[in-house]
Structure 1
Amino acid sequence: MHSVALRMAGALRDDVRPGDAVAILAADPGLIAPAVQGVWLSGGSVTMLHQPTPRTDLGHWAQDTLRVLSMIGARLVLLGPPFDQLSGLLSENAIEHRLLAELDGEPPAGPVEVGEDATALLQLTSGSTADPKAVRITHGNLHSNMRGMVTAAELDAERDVAVSWLPLFHDMGMVGCLTVPMAIGMEAVKVTPADFLARPLLWPELISRHRGTVTAAPNFAYAVVGRRMERADEGQFDLSTLRFTLNGAEPIDPAAARAFTDAGARFGLDPDCMVCAFGMAESTLAVSFAPLGCGIEVDTIDAGALEEQRRAVPVDAGEERARRFALLGRPLPGLEVDVVDDAGKRLGEREVGRLRIRGDAVTPGYLTVDGPLATQDEQGWLDTGDEGYLVDGQVVICGRRKDVIIMGGRNIYPVDIERAACEVDGVRPGNAAAVRQEAGTRRERFAVVLESKLADDEAAVKALRKEVAARVVDAVGVRPSAVVVLRPGTLPKTPSGKLRRAATAELVPAD
């Protein structure tokens, strides 16, 4: 791959100057990987453009993509199949572009030298196609976070094999499952998200075939594959080589994660191989990893104290109003995490507040359509936008602060509502969203929007709404103002698969 990257860098010699932003739009990881390295060898920065899906309006996508290219000041766009057909659109808008398949030149004598503060990646954030924003990751940020992950995960290039289907326009796919293996010379097996979505069991098949030791995915993927593996034939997979199975990028449901490890046990999966993690693009990728070999550790706390006192008070798992949160480990080397109240006062252990991060992996700022935007305060702290707490030095995330539903003085977290809804038969796992509704002259309200294969059966939908409402009342003590049932594949999501709550809220009918 490195030899291909060198020839690509040679072909880019006259097109890329040090500091230039280069965008890449392609599907094949085998083309993308050397292209990324080739751009870095040329002294440029990389931006992975979001790929349109079969449900994407191509007209809107094209206009959004042009806004992104303008925002980052893209010097060049590199196109690979199946996006070569967009060449005409770029030409019409006077945007320089090259086809990846044609990048073949004389290798340069060496890489173009750039400083550690130079931009390595411009990582488009979730939802950035609607309101473009890119996290600026420097070479120093990237090196620091990679070093921290290699240490925390105990990665060994001679022993480990990474298997991934994650999108390369998302930080976990791009940094964790491509750049880290590329940097340390570790074997990596990659397919596309479309390959996985078409056949989820391809993932354990690849782990079995290539003796994979390391993999990573959001919680929803473990839920999907766990259910499929429960029905798989005896001996169909060999997961005995997996030692590091990272769960991150979205709220972790301990029950779904355990269902995956339980289903994998009969195929040799070590139940303690799952590592729950906290990360974000603003920290390059990873903030914290749970300890290796400990499996899924859960903190069970009193819901009332959490919602009314903003404290995480431990209770027995059997308590009626118990909440269970995954422990996400201690900060990686080079990073700090603390918790503060709204006035910026640092809080103690098990006190719930705003999570902040600081360290060498934290981005210095964003690029936006209105220009650069700093991310850190005077002391170097970045507000993550999450609510959470610390226990024994480990991070716990309760939810996104902007999504918290406040009712009767209680802070209700959407994830609790969504988990309850997904426990109902007929609701697609991982496809329920709790959204706050504009209160106006009325008290705060929320609705549940979900997907179900029963969406076209009027009687079944009526029963489903009733059961979901009852299950939510049992879980959080409050009834949703509405339960909206949609066909599969219609919940608004970001290109990396996360729920778009603001867009989802617009699907709730007005009173």
Structure 2
Amino acid sequence: MSRFVDLMLESARGERGEAKGITTGEPKAPVRHTWGQVHERAARMAGALVSGGLARHGAVAVLAAEPVSIAPAVQAVWLAGGSITMLHQPTPRTDLAEWAADTVRVLAMIDSKLVLLGSPFEPVAPVLEEHGVAYRLLADLEDGEPLAEPVDVDEDAPALLQLTSGSTADPKAVRITHGNLYSNLTAMAEKAELDVATDIMVSWLPLFHDMGMVGFLTVPMTVGMELVKVTPVEFLTGPLLWADLISRHGGTITAAPNFAYALLGRRLSNVDDEGTYDLSSLRIALNGAEPIDEAAVAAFVKQGTRFKMDPNCVFPAYGMAETTLAVSFAPLGTGLTLDQIDADLLESDNRAVPDPDGTRAFAILGEPLPGLEARIVGEDGAVRGEREVGEIQLRGEAVTPGYLTVNGPVATQDADGWLSSGDIGYLVDGQIVICGRQKDVIILAGRNIYPTDIERAASVVEGVRAGNAVAVRLDAGSRRERFAVVVESRSAGDADEEKRIKREVGSRVFEAVNARPSAVLVLAPGTLPKTPSGKLRRAAAGQQLAGGLAEEES
């Protein structure tokens, strides 16, 4: 049996299984189940899956949103020897015909013959039937005869087929094995100094995203640690719920991308009574969005300290699905540490030279976790030295052996086991620093300009929605490569306001990177394409907005 399943069973069947558990349904109808109770439900569901014909190593897709149902369902699949894929979820604005076609492609790619359907997605059952997709309702599985012992699988067996954040029309899944999971979750537990007796995780992250599924469901369920789990909808409906849950439950560990910390900081700024929340229990507020937005972190810290939060609980990290989840954690209790560098030398020479007065700063993200190693490689394939910028490559037990694609499996590692991350960065005393994504770097007259610098400059303009500015490459790779800036604003449609925003964005961007955008577009809220975790999709934005940019420049 795999070490991952062994550890999960040890937690569920022992003292931790009786004492620790998961609270769901906040804030309207909170209910708590111990991990032992979750395991009992999972055993029944696993029995139903096996008796229903699920084969060893079989791929099972899940379409559900409620953590109370998802937790036993994913454990059931692992007990039955299968792998889990969390499907992209349709929204009220989704074209169900397109969604169904994309979902059928995903199911064929992962060779899944079964979808487990749960709340609130039962109404899409007829759509699945129309496309010949077999499904079972999660509620029906609980009538199964409990599986006495898990189906035996080895360390190389697939455990999680994690869909990437790219286009659903051209899907790709990261193949995460039982060995990958065990290596990464035990390394994270060690570096974060998890204490199963006292730590309490609080999360609203979606379970179809790797941080939500692995970091804030699989980890606490496997090690037997207390978890409070709500849905993204509940958070977005009332962001202060996040602070309320940390206060009431004594949450010690949480995580979110940049935009969520910025949003919570803004909402806390409107709370006058500093006794409303108590964030003193929080010891880890993980931020895994790379590059980390220091302005968003600073705003969150400023407001959080009003409610007794330790500013050093900010926990910068680097992660990606290809390493199961985490690559590196900053040292505990040190907060956000910035590396101030010479911007000109970064852009012209690909060197990160320290400069206390420099205009460019990046977060230091810590050393690779146990079992992982990192190196920096230049365009010529040569390994770069300290503070020399290049592509980050990773190697170790948590690194996926490959992708599943519509054209078949694709290996991720070279002959020596190295994974090319696609991220540009450098090392400082063995710690990783991220500059940006390789595919997003804008090259102007031999200078490497990182889109995050452009986007942060645009975001400070009054009227631009925080976290909703994107730099789009134009004529990429050509001698006349340019860029445009697209922002969201509630003033979209107001001719005078749009003109002001465009002028100020152009000025702010020029001040930041010494280059002017060839066009600035102002769009209505909700227009920019984003990943399921809320990150901007620059390439998709460029494709989607090509027509609008052409009109703007004509």
Task: Name the TM-score class by shorter chain.
Answer: over 0.9
Give the direction of change, closer, same or farther, for the CA distance of 1:439–1:154 in structure 2 (3 Å limit): closer
Structure 1 counterpart SS, 2:132: coil
1:226 aligns with one of 265, 272, 294: 265
Provide Cα deviations, 1:260-306, integer angstroms capped at 9, x if missing partner: 01110011100000110000000000000000000000001011000
What letter matches 1:241 in structure 2?
S
Deviation at 1:475, TM superposition (A): 0.1
What corresponds to 2:495 in structure 1? 458
Deviation at 1:130, TM superposition (A): 2.9
What corresponds to 1:39 in structure 2? 77
Matches within 5 A, 1:48-87: 48-87=86-125
Contact 1:163 1:189 in 2 (8 A): yes
Deviation at 1:402, TM superposition (A): 0.5
Give the direction of change, closer, same or farther, for the CA distance of 1:414–1:440 in structure 2 (3 Å limit): closer
What letter matches 2:137 in structure 1?
L
Deviation at 1:439, TM superposition (A): 5.9
Question: How far, CA to CA, are the matches of 2:51 and 2:148 in structure 1?
Answer: 15
Deviation at 1:66, TM superposition (A): 1.1
Deviation at 1:457, TM superposition (A): 1.1
Contact 1:124 1:133 in 2 (8 A): yes
1:427 aligns with one of 443, 464, 475: 464
Question: How far, CA to CA, are the matches of 2:93 and 2:127 in structure 1?
Answer: 20
Question: How far, CA to CA, are the matches of 1:154 and 1:439 in structure 2?
Answer: 44
Matches within 5 A, 1:51-200: 51-104=89-142, 105-200=144-239
> Normalising to structure 2: TM-score of the pair?
0.90
Corresponding pairs, count: 508
Question: How far, CA to CA, are the matches of 1:130 and 1:189 in structure 2?
Answer: 34
What letter matches 1:245 in structure 2?
A
Gaps spanning 5+ residues in structure 2: where? 1-37
**Stretch deviating more after TM superposition (85-94 or 434-443):** 434-443
Contact 2:200 2:227 in 1 (8 A): yes
Provide Cα deviations, 1:23-59, integer angstroms capped at 9, x if missing partner: 0000101000100000000000000001122333222
Contact 1:249 1:280 in 2 (8 A): no
1:8 aligns with one of 45, 49, 53: 45
Q: Does 1:23 align with 2:84?
A: no
Structure 1 stretches of 4+ with a deviation exceeding 4 A read 439-442
Deviation at 1:249, TM superposition (A): 3.3
Structure 2 counterpart SS, 1:144: helix
Give the direction of change, closer, same or farther, for the CA distance of 1:51–1:439 in structure 2 (3 Å limit): closer
Question: How far, CA to CA, are the matches of 1:409 and 1:57 in structure 2?
Answer: 43
Question: How far, CA to CA, are the matches of 2:95 and 2:443 in structure 1?
Answer: 35
What corresponds to 2:282 in structure 1? 242
Question: How far, CA to CA, are the matches of 2:156 and 2:476 in structure 1?
Answer: 45
Gaps spanning 5+ residues in structure 1: where? none
Deviation at 1:85, TM superposition (A): 1.5
What corresponds to 2:293 in structure 1? 253
Matches within 5 A, 1:466-505: 466-505=503-542
**Stretch deviating more after TM superposition (452-461 or 47-56):** 47-56
Structure 1 counterpart SS, 2:50: coil
Provide Cα deviations, 1:355-384, integer angstroms capped at 9, x if missing partner: 000000000000000000000000000000
Structure 2 counterpart SS, 1:425: coil
Question: How far, CA to CA, are the matches of 1:250 and 1:195 in structure 2?
Answer: 25
1:444 aligns with one of 461, 466, 481: 481
What corresponds to 2:313 in structure 1? 273
Question: How far, CA to CA, are the matches of 2:468 and 2:98 in structure 1?
Answer: 24
Question: How far, CA to CA, are the matches of 1:209 and 1:65 in structure 2?
Answer: 39
Question: How far, CA to CA, are the matches of 1:75 and 1:14 in structure 2?
Answer: 15
What letter matches 1:228 in structure 2?
R
**Stretch deviating more after TM superposition (411-420 or 432-441):** 432-441
> Normalising to structure 1: TM-score of the pair?
0.98
Deviation at 1:440, TM superposition (A): 9.1
2:352 aligns with one of 312, 325, 338: 312
Structure 1 counterpart SS, 2:496: helix
Identity of aligned residues (%): 65
Structure 2 counterpart SS, 1:324: strand
What letter matches 2:536 in structure 1?
L
Deviation at 1:82, TM superposition (A): 1.5
Contact 1:219 1:251 in 2 (8 A): no
Contact 2:505 2:520 in 1 (8 A): yes
Question: How far, CA to CA, are the matches of 2:184 and 2:479 in structure 1?
Answer: 46
What letter matches 1:301 in structure 2?
I
RMSD over aligned Cα, in angstroms? 1.2
Deviation at 1:60, TM superposition (A): 1.6
Q: Does 1:378 align with 2:415?
A: yes
Structure 1 counterpart SS, 2:279: coil
**Stretch deviating more after TM superposition (148-157 or 57-66):** 57-66
Q: Does 1:395 align with 2:435?
A: no
Structure 2 counterpart SS, 1:307: helix
Question: How far, CA to CA, are the matches of 1:313 and 1:483 in structure 2?
Answer: 32
Question: How far, CA to CA, are the matches of 2:438 and 2:467 in structure 1?
Answer: 20
What corresponds to 1:283 in structure 2? 323
Deviation at 1:442, TM superposition (A): 6.5
Q: Does 1:345 align with 2:382?
A: yes
Deviation at 1:219, TM superposition (A): 1.0
Give the direction of change, closer, same or farther, for the CA distance of 1:278–1:459 in structure 2 (3 Å limit): same
Question: How far, CA to CA, are the matches of 2:108 and 2:131 in structure 1?
Answer: 11
Contact 1:287 1:331 in 2 (8 A): yes
Contact 2:291 2:362 in 1 (8 A): no
Give the direction of change, closer, same or farther, for the CA distance of 1:402–1:441 in structure 2 (3 Å limit): closer
Contact 1:446 1:481 in 2 (8 A): yes
**Stretch deviating more after TM superposition (194-203 or 174-183):** 194-203
Structure 2 counterpart SS, 1:106: coil
